[in-house]
Structure 1
Amino acid sequence: MITVLEKKRNINAENKSVNLDKANSVYLNVENSYKTAVIDTKNINLWYGNDQALKQINLQVYENEVTAIIGPSGCGKSTYIKTLNRMVEMIPSVKITGEILYRGKNIFDKTYPVEELRTKVGMVFQKPNPFPKSIYDNIAYGPRIHGIKNRKLLDEIVEKSLRKAAIWDEVKDRLHENAYSLSGGQQQRICIARCLAIEPDVILMDEPTSALDPISTLKVEELCQELKENYSIVIVTHNMQQAARISDRTAFFLNGEVIEYDLTDRIFSKPRDQRTEDYIKGRFG
């Protein structure tokens, strides 16, 4: 029987850049001396009532990267990213232990304003959910909530956000039309632009292309690659090819645990845990 210590020795002998996290036997790549961890999750456990959904999660999100979260349905992927901006706390039965540091500050500290957190850590949901308002008012909504009333400044924010979301040319002559008049793919990019309008630092995406056609999916994927130049992105996806195409790092979740977290190329070419390989090759999930 191989002990955890023996496993650690074997891994270090094979590749000194890899560390075995003893808390839950997770393979973690640590070649990050040049990278800044924007979000650092430390020993997070989460329960819905008596049911534990997350178990000892230790995971870092790095600056100007796309981090993919993969795993079968019900494994804790969406729950995890909703802890990162504390949206999960909207469910009354939730209990959380551990720490999540955003730029070095514990987001669960009683003095940390949740409104500020949700401004800095924005969210794009699975299905496009524009407000029943004009395209312009969708984008201007957040800045207005934060006190911006000047029309010229709002015009600049709306245009800048739509350009960043790569949809300005498609809607610049339709700004006062209802956002529901757009296609599903366009609506999702409007939702991304709405998120960008409040100048987040991190963008969380919960299966943002699952309801889109292939062409719209490609546009969102290309957009993620462009946005990572200025933002850190965490994307939950069931699509293995999508994770391989657009992410820099990938975390594989199973039964509420992080089984493996590494550079995406390594996860898909040489996973270190058999369960990761089995999932990627479609043997379960």
Structure 2
Amino acid sequence: MVQTVIKMEKKTGGIGIMENPGERQNLHSIERISVFRTNHFNLWYGKHHALKEINLAINENEVTAIIGPSGCGKSTFIKSLNRMVELVPAVKTGGEIFYRGRNIFDEGFEVEELRTKVGMVFQKPNPFPKSIYDNIAYGPRIHGIKNKKILDEIVEKSLRKAAIWEEVKDRLHHNAYGLSGGQQQRLCIARCLAIEPDVILMDEPTSALDPISTLKIEQLILELKKNYSIIIVTHNMQQAARISDKTAFFLNGEVVEYGRTEQIFSTPKDQRTQDYISGRFG
């Protein structure tokens, strides 16, 4: 709604709601389209070669899990997909990352546009010190939406998509810090959804949560993939097996193995993958 409302405002000078093209059906019967494709992607932190020759194709409307031991490059990789990694000093990259056919490093591809399309949810819930309503409305307001009726619709729709509306609908103007950890994380997911991303990056989104809250987030992820492409970093092998369609195993900055999750966990092709998922290291 955010992007479509802005387009109509620019065209007509008024406010209106158009059908959201992002709410597309999950077409299982056709060949999957790659939302991201990396081509010999490398990244250095100073002299440290953190990512080495990464070649991956990540499909739309799937959950892709990134697994591997601490320090192997998982978080660095997903933060490269929306160029958040560039906020770290002395970062240098090589190779290409294509988002829907466009190289994200091309001069004409603005970072702000990329980060609108590729949202992110972090390890620890990080709500703003504002009301629940203002947390969700923050992004749409930044994008120029001021009409209260439109904002009300966006807030409710986003909270419903994040499966938290029924829990907070009577306290929208209460401080978000009053929510439980699991509720705060779903609020952060709703805040991400409010600006209508195409892809959602999740960096260990349940590692700080209790088992019940973790289950709710996992159920939410499975529901969200109908309309969004999700890339999740996780240390939890059972979680990766439960929710992901494909899994990439990273080790020492390299992709050791990438494929269908059931194949990775049942018949991995590389002994290092077998050793990791069986708990022999990591």
TM-score, normalised to structure 1, is 0.88
Give, as a single letter, the amino acid of the residue that structure 1 aligns with 2:86.
E
* 1:190 matched to 2:190: no
Q: Which residue of 2 aligns with 1:219?
A: 216
d(CA) in 2 for partners of 1:87, 1:208: 17
Q: Which residue of 2 aligns with 1:26?
A: none
SS of match in other structure, 1:115: helix
Which residue, 266, 269, 272 being the options, matches 1:269? Answer: 266
The residue type equivalent to 1:85 in the other structure is N
Shift of 1:110: 1.2
User: Could you tell me how far apart the structure 1 residues matched to 2:109 and 2:226 are?
Assistant: 27
Q: 1:63 aligns with which of 56, 60, 65?
A: 60
User: Which consecutive residues of structure 2, in runs of 5 or more, have no partner in the other structure?
Assistant: 1-28
CA distance in 2, matches of 1:139, 1:59: 33
**Which consecutive unaligned segments of at least 5 residues does structure 1 have?**
1-31
Q: Which residue identity is paired with 1:178?
A: N
Q: What's the CA shift for 1:92?
A: 1.8
- Aligned counterpart, 2:38: 41
CA distance in structure 2 between the aligned counterparts of 1:33 and 1:108, rounded to whole angstroms:
30
The one-letter code of the counterpart of 2:263 is R
| Match of residue 15 from structure 1 | none
Number of residues of Structure 1 aligned to a counterpart in Structure 2: 254
Cα distance in 2 for partners of 1:127, 1:220 equals: 13
Query: What percent of counterpart residues are identical?
Result: 79
Tell me the residue number matched to 1:169. 166
- In 2: Cα distance, 1:145 partner to 1:33 partner: 36
In the alignment, what sits opposite 2:139? Answer: 142
What is the alpha-carbon distance in structure 2 between the residues aligned to residue 42 and residue 211 of structure 1? 33
Q: 1:1-285 to 2 correspondence within 5 Å?
A: 34-285=31-282
What is the distance in 1 between the residues matched to 2:192 and 2:218?
Answer: 16
Per-residue deviation at 1:200? 0.2
Deviation at 1:60, TM superposition (A): 1.4
Residues 14-54 of structure 1 deviation map (CA, whole Å, 9 limit, x = unaligned): xxxxxxxxxxxxxxxxxx98110001011110000000100
Q: Deviations over 1:93-118 (max 9, x none)?
A: 00000111001000001110100000
Paired with 1:61 and 1:162, the residues of 2 have a C-alpha distance of 27
Deviation (angstroms), 1:220: 0.2
Question: Separation in 2 of the partners of 1:49 and 1:156?
Answer: 46
Q: Distance in 2 between matches of 1:193 and 1:70?
A: 25
Distance in 2, matches of 1:33 and 1:82, equals: 29
The TM-score, its normalising length taken from structure 2, stands at 0.89
- Structure 1 segments, 4+ long, off by >2 Å, are none
In 1, Cα distance between equivalents of 2:196 and 2:40: 29
